[in-house]
Amino acid sequence: MKDTIKFVLDESRIPRYWYNIVADLPSPPPPVLHPGTMKPVGPGDLAPIFPMSLIAQEVTAEREVEIPGPVRDIYRQWRPTALFRARRLEQALETPARIYYKYEGVSPAGSHKPNTAVAQAYYNREAGVKRIATETGAGQWGSSLAFAGALFGIEVQVFMVRVSYDQKPYRRALMEAYGARCVPSPSTETQSGRAVLAKDARHPGSLGIAISEAVEVAASREDTKYALGSVLNHVLLHQTVIGQEALAQFDLAGDYPDVIVGCTGGGSNFAGIVFPFLGAQLRGGRKVRVVAIEPAACPSLTRGKYAYDFGDTAHLTPLAKMHTLGSTFTPPGFHAGGLRYHGMAPLVSHVKELGLIEAGAREQTKCFEAGVRFARAEGIVPAPEANHAVLGAIDEALRCREEGVSRAILFNLCGHGHFDMQAYIDYFAGKLTDQQYDEAELAMALAGLPSVRAA
């Protein structure tokens, strides 16, 4: 049919391996350090909170990690996801650009997160784990792990950042529909939570605090482990099914992206779509421009320091070298809750330092404007997080129009906004503002970085 808009692969084309970019990088990422000794952590240090199979994936340098059969079996429900050509958006923008998007919102939980949630739940069940504690920002991750837990008979407890917990009651209900227990963070259930509440009983919470709470619960119980929805190497690894499928779909389309745009919070959906293309480039394939778009109110890649820092606020995690705003930094309560994290995935940070990607920051009202524009052309209402990628792609397409050049633009539409409609209600009512972080707080958080103090 003329003007193909949907590139589909059958289930035999679900990738058989996750792709590990470490194997193709000119230098390995800096090691994760123990905060006491400042020496690289070993598997034993992580064993209280992760099953050994995931620790092995965290440190492997192998290019390919086989996807277990039971995980692929579940992927089949929604994978391969379609790659769409956004022809109606192109027309609306009057751009010569060829805009493509990979749509991950068709998973049961509505985002890319089940790609890793299912894998993590599988490995935990294999290790005999009965309960997983985790954190969630906007709720995309928490609901995905709740879904995966239901499939593998694992109890899931989710610490949900309080500002999102209050903004998104439907997302909480989704977790409960899957059978998970969801509590607002900071909570009274952990020492970390109680410490924060003692200072500020109305604290809005942050991903850093919620991580502390979940890690504390996991570390204190024998049958309980911890799971993270982004940032870590093994999480990024699991997401590479997205980019691998996209590579095959561009073959079908007889095209190749000139530029790839992804939104970045912890970095997992970005790495998922980008790393397989960067890998192809690093192995001698075609060069692709890559742009990470982050929220201006939480700009780790564009305003953070590349330094060793804790992954959480209570400093229960090891130290990772990453672009960070400082683990004590609390971002303002904007609507893209999934991007409200002080740090960036160490691997994404490393790739940025190697000059393989660019980064930009955008204000939230412009992102929602782009999301509505996209919805009216393509019919899909994006998640607030995904709106950053939509805006980045639209900006690139408009540049094509100005320059009179047709480029192929690919972005990852990492999730739909069905559970985030309060943000759209606020946007339509003119209640959304472009929130600013506190410059003094940022300066203090950066000054307090462990590597800065150590220097």
Tell me whether residue 347 or residue 394 sits nearer to a copy of itself (CB atom).
394
Strand 305-310 and strand 408-413: the pairing is: unpaired
Query: Which of these ranges, 122-130, 177-185, 216-224, 404-412, lies near a copy of itself under the rule CB under 8 A?
Result: 177-185
Tell me whether residue 75 or residue 310 sits nearer to a copy of itself (CB atom).
75
Tell me whether residue 77 or residue 191 sits nearer to a copy of itself (CB atom).
77
Residue 376 in the binding site for a copy of itself (CB under 8 A): yes
Residue 174 in the binding site for a copy of itself (CB under 8 A): yes
Site for a copy of itself in 410-439 (CB under 8 A): 416, 418-419, 421-422, 424-425, 428
Tell me whether residue 142 or residue 304 sits nearer to a copy of itself (CB atom).
142
Tell me whether residue 44 or residue 379 sits nearer to a copy of itself (CB atom).
379
Residue 94 in the binding site for a copy of itself (CB under 8 A): no
Q: Please provide the DSSP assignment of 230-247 as one string.
A: SSSHHHHHHHTHHHHHHH
Nearest partner of 314 among 427, 214, 439, 202, judged by Cα: 214
Q: Which two tokens stand for residue 117?
A: 């949630």
Nearest-angstrom CA–CA distance, 151 and 148: 5
Residue 100 in the binding site for a copy of itself (CB under 8 A): no
Tell me whether residue 403 or residue 428 sits nearer to a copy of itself (CB atom).
428
- Among 15, 29, 51, 110, the residue binding a copy of itself under the rule CB under 8 A is 110
Interhelix angle 268-282/346-353, nearest 10 degrees: 40
- Among 166, 176, 353, 434, the residue binding a copy of itself under the rule CB under 8 A is 176
Residue 1 in the binding site for a copy of itself (CB under 8 A): yes
Residue 177 in the binding site for a copy of itself (CB under 8 A): yes
Nearest-angstrom CA–CA distance, 208 and 328: 8
Residue 256 in the binding site for a copy of itself (CB under 8 A): no
Site for a copy of itself in 179-198 (CB under 8 A): 179
In angstroms, the Cα distances linking 286 to 125, 179, 277, 441 are 40, 46, 9, 42
Tell me whether residue 80 or residue 267 sits nearer to a copy of itself (CB atom).
80
Nearest partner of 123 among 51, 67, 74, judged by Cα: 51
Interhelix angle 364-378/421-428, nearest 10 degrees: 110
Residue 12 in the binding site for a copy of itself (CB under 8 A): yes
Tell me whether residue 147 or residue 310 sits nearer to a copy of itself (CB atom).
147
Residue 380 in the binding site for a copy of itself (CB under 8 A): yes
319 contact partners, CB below 8 Å, separation of at least 6: 32, 33, 34, 35, 38, 308, 309, 310, 450, 451
Tell me whether residue 54 or residue 151 sits nearer to a copy of itself (CB atom).
151
Tell me whether residue 6 or residue 283 sits nearer to a copy of itself (CB atom).
6
Element (H, E) at 372: helix 364-378
Nearest partner of 261 among 394, 451, 405, 422, judged by Cα: 394
* Alpha-carbon 291 to chain mean position: 15
Residue 109 in the binding site for a copy of itself (CB under 8 A): yes
Q: Phi then psi for 269, rounded to 5 degrees?
A: -70, -35
Query: Which of these ranges, 3-11, 213-221, 300-308, 404-412, lies near a copy of itself under the rule CB under 8 A?
Result: 3-11
Residue 446 in the binding site for a copy of itself (CB under 8 A): no
In angstroms, the Cα distances linking 201 to 187, 188, 270, 387, 398 are 10, 10, 35, 32, 46
Residue 385 in the binding site for a copy of itself (CB under 8 A): no
Element (H, E) at 389: helix 384-403
Distance of closest approach, residue 150 Cβ to a copy of itself, in angstroms: 5
Total of chain residues touching a copy of itself, rule CB under 8 A: 45
Q: Is the distance from CB of 410 to CB of 262 less than 8 angstroms?
A: no
Binding site for a copy of itself (CB under 8 A): 1, 3, 5-6, 8, 10-12, 72-73, 76-77, 84, 88, 106, 108-110, 147, 150-151, 169-170, 173-174, 176-179, 372, 375-381, 416, 418-419, 421-422, 424-425, 428
